[in-house]
Structure 1
Amino acid sequence: MTNPFSGGAPVKEVIVTGDIFRLSAGGGSGNQDRNISWLHALLKFPIFAATGTYPGLLRHDNSPLKCSDIYDAAGLRPSLSAWAELSAAFPKNVSERYASLFQGKIVVGFELSNAMCAALTEWDVPYICILTHPVRFLDDIAFAVSTNISGIHQGLAKLCMREAICFEHAGFITAYFASRRRSADRADFRLFAAQTHDDRSLFRDGAIVSQDWIGEKLVALYKPDDVVAFKHHPLKRSAEVFEKVKNRCANTYETSANVYSLLSDPNLSDVITVSSSVGVEAKYFGKNVTYLHKPFVAPLYRNDTSAVGDFMSCGTNLLSADFWRILLSTFVPVSDLDGHQHIYRPDLLRATLNQDWNFGEIYADFIVQSSPLGRVMAHPSVWARLKNKLMRQIRRS
């Protein structure tokens, strides 16, 4: 079938890819290959069941164009700052070299960059961009999806989850910690949820927001007598920012408490973050949020007013063949809807990705916190990962 974009080439293949030019904190290439392979494995059968053809796979390690090729063409040396610049917009010579990889394809991409989405639209290539949903406390990982095609967007809007689900889950988590909280006789406090230093949500005008900028913004928001709980990101400490806040507010302390125990605390007055998903989650616990920069993405839900390009909260619907039958029917022949629901088990996607964002501590957290070993294992280390795996097993038993 023909691409509905004006002048578009006939669509011949669905291909799963991602931000293949994303670099690691050390400047290494292929940073997203693992996540691209994970998404491809999840969607391989549903897309085959819908279209009769398995989707292709494009990672950095099998791409005809490597990171070095693209960065060289852009006149950049591979680095985090160069990645931020390249993520904002592709130079013309980069766009020309890259476009041929996607002609005649529907691109299903994991965390596609803004530059990539803009370029695909310019090249008349349909895309479906998939993110892990910023609300991480549901029964399992959920997904947020956007597209540059009106017909696909209309399908996404119909396949959205209800936002009420997030409030309901937050209610259970709040109840869980309320029954275990020993005393409410404590001072009101404010929470700062830190971010890793190399997350793409920190990109601003083609550059990465600096730790100095974050510290200065925070100091302006806090009053000297504020009590501040400083929550480092599990993967990266923000010591420089912590010291700036501590110098401003003497009652600032580092906390290793589970972030959901903090969000559900009745004495928490508000949350400040640069761009962390914790800010999106805080809404469902009734907390006010201030972003120093912006949320990486705040997906919309069923019945929300939306437009093409908006991220829609699709839960785990994309694991079903019917999801792809509905979205891809404009482009390729698809089989009939069969109403079959995908396999469901709590934590299944978390287990496949080997990532739980500390959700593993919930519903078994009192066992961990009541033991000396639990206090040690609360730090971001190999012990914490072992603890989370143990907690998942306890919940399932």
Structure 2
Amino acid sequence: MPKSKLILTGDIFRPFLVNNRWESATWKNVRWLNGIIGSAASLAGWEVSTVSWDPALTRDHQDVDVREIYDAVKLPLNVEGWCGLISQPALPASIESRLLSLFGADLVVGYEMPEHLLRLLNRAGIAVIDVVLHPVRFLDDIIFALRTNRQDIHARLLRHEIQRNEMVRQAGFIKAKAAWMKPPLSLSPGALLLLGQVDTDRAAVDTSTGRLRNLADHAEGLLELIVRSSTTLFRPHPYQPTDSKSFALVKRLQSVRLTNANYYHLLSQNEIETVCALNSSGLVEAELFGKEAVWLAPPCYRFGTDQPEETGYGAAVAQDGAWYTPAFWEAVRLKTGLSEEHPVPLTPNRLRRSLNADWAFSTIDKVVA
């Protein structure tokens, strides 16, 4: 009996400039996914391979000719071209056919897959699981949310959902600790915290126009917020260049104070009542800390428990530690009953270590800070 086939992939279209050469911005994500899921799925009886823009790989791998795709839609292979590509309503039929030929599998699992690929695989009747980094980064470990186009898989994801109450509870522990710490800044009640973002992040792409959003697009609304606030702080993203359009706007607003204080320490300050950003994941965390969150743009992902629609995907469900175990992938392969599904606690910092990133958590998590 042939093994069930599982293909791992990611955002195959997104470019990144390295030494004057454009390469995949996400090849590391797919390799990471192969280490986390590929290993577990192989142990669970799946035949695992990868499809990505990663010519250095050869074994159990099919490379995507991304330049061919950009040439077909007459767009340059750069960030501007990428924004235009993912904003198009559809890809040429010849490109869709070529892509589909790479994904002959029983199940495709991707790391934050592009909408073009999600729609293509769904129309072809292929089962899909999309693995999305969850906005909440202050639990015992980094968590991911999974979404799918299959009702049976979605039902299994719901059995491993991390509830919002657990996130609120952990935010409470962080606020409790902050009560013993020296405040990062002197503030008055009614303060506003403005968050920066990576200017070329996928969340910044306005697919209705094909351009990158920035805070300057919302200057009038921001000024109204600033006038109503006792103090306004701007916390830039660590990877946000100081010559970006958003940063340039903030520099012109002389009443705005720049801060690089720990984000969770800031959220724990009662004086900060409102947090504003384009659509930063930090807004989700702010709400869990009891702040008013002002979204200037729609969120990039839909998180929750909504069922898959007939022609699409369900919401991305926040997951406990089951999704990277062989038992989970064996259950998906064999379609076993849900009665055997039990919560799997997070292993502290397991995924944090694997991602080699902690998003400011370790600073606030020290026994004595």
| TM-score relative to the length of structure 1 | 0.80
The match for 2:198 is 196
The match for 1:49 is 43
Q: How many residues align?
A: 351
Work out the CA distance in 2 between the residues paired with 1:125 and 1:305. Answer: 20
- Does the CA-based 8 Å contact 2:40-2:324 persist in structure 1? yes
1:60 aligns with 2:53: yes
Structure 1 residues not aligned, in runs of 5+: 2-9, 368-397
Work out the CA distance in 2 between the residues paired with 1:157 and 1:175. Answer: 30
For the residue of structure 1 that corresponds to 2:154, the secondary structure is helix
Q: Return the offset for 1:167.
A: 0.8
1:17 aligns with 2:9: yes
The match for 1:372 is none
Specify the code of the residue in structure 1 equivalent to 2:233: A
- Does the CA-based 8 Å contact 2:159-2:343 persist in structure 1? no
**Quick one: structure 1 residues 298 and 268, their matched pair in 2 at CA, closer, same or farther if it must change by over 3 Å?**
farther
The match for 1:386 is none
The match for 2:148 is 147
* Residue correspondence of structure 1 range 185-334 to structure 2 within 5 A: 186-188=187-189, 189-205=191-207, 207-211=210-214, 212-223=216-227, 226-237=230-241, 239=243, 240-245=245-250, 247-248=252-253, 250-300=254-304, 304-308=305-309, 309=313, 310-330=315-335
Specify the code of the residue in structure 2 equivalent to 1:295: P
Specify the code of the residue in structure 2 equivalent to 1:53: W
Specify the code of the residue in structure 2 equivalent to 1:180: M
For the residue of structure 2 that corresponds to 1:315, the secondary structure is coil
The match for 1:86 is 85
- Does the CA-based 8 Å contact 2:143-2:320 persist in structure 1? yes
Q: Residue by residue, what CA displacement relative to the aligned partner does 1:161-180 show, whole Å, maximum 9, x if unpaired?
A: 22211011111111111111
Specify the code of the residue in structure 2 equivalent to 1:121: N
Specify the code of the residue in structure 2 equivalent to 1:209: L
In proportion to residue count, which structure has more helix? 1
Q: Return the offset for 1:64.
A: 3.9
Work out the CA distance in 2 between the residues paired with 1:217 and 1:72. Answer: 39
Work out the CA distance in 2 between the residues paired with 1:298 and 1:18. Answer: 18
* Residue correspondence of structure 1 range 339-358 to structure 2 within 5 A: 345-358=347-360
Specify the code of the residue in structure 1 equivalent to 2:36: L
- Does the CA-based 8 Å contact 2:174-2:268 persist in structure 1? yes
Specify the code of the residue in structure 2 equivalent to 1:361: T
**Quick one: structure 1 residues 363 and 65, their matched pair in 2 at CA, closer, same or farther if it must change by over 3 Å?**
closer
Work out the CA distance in 1 between the residues paired with 2:342 and 2:229. Answer: 57
Q: Extract structure 1 runs of 4+ deviating beyond 6 A.
A: 334-343
Q: Return the offset for 1:246.
A: 5.2
Work out the CA distance in 2 between the residues paired with 1:359 and 1:221. Answer: 28
Q: Residue by residue, what CA displacement relative to the aligned partner does 1:297-339 show, whole Å, maximum 9, x if unpaired?
A: 2521xxx554442111113320122322333335xxx899987
- Does the CA-based 8 Å contact 1:201-1:275 persist in structure 2? yes
Work out the CA distance in 2 between the residues paired with 1:20 and 1:338. Answer: 35
For the residue of structure 2 that corresponds to 1:362, the secondary structure is helix
1:32 aligns with 2:19: no
- Does the CA-based 8 Å contact 1:45-1:54 persist in structure 2? no
For the residue of structure 2 that corresponds to 1:61, the secondary structure is coil
| TM-score relative to the length of structure 2 | 0.85
Q: Return the offset for 1:118.
A: 0.8
For the residue of structure 2 that corresponds to 1:282, the secondary structure is helix
Report the aligned-residue RMSD. Answer: 2.9
Q: Residue by residue, what CA displacement relative to the aligned partner does 1:142-198 show, whole Å, maximum 9, x if unpaired?
A: 110011122212221222122211011111111111111359973131001111011
- Does the CA-based 8 Å contact 1:322-1:340 persist in structure 2? no
- Does the CA-based 8 Å contact 1:87-1:114 persist in structure 2? yes
Structure 2 residues not aligned, in runs of 5+: 56-61
Q: What's the % identity of the aligned pairs?
A: 28
- Does the CA-based 8 Å contact 1:177-1:264 persist in structure 2? yes
For the residue of structure 1 that corresponds to 2:24, the secondary structure is coil
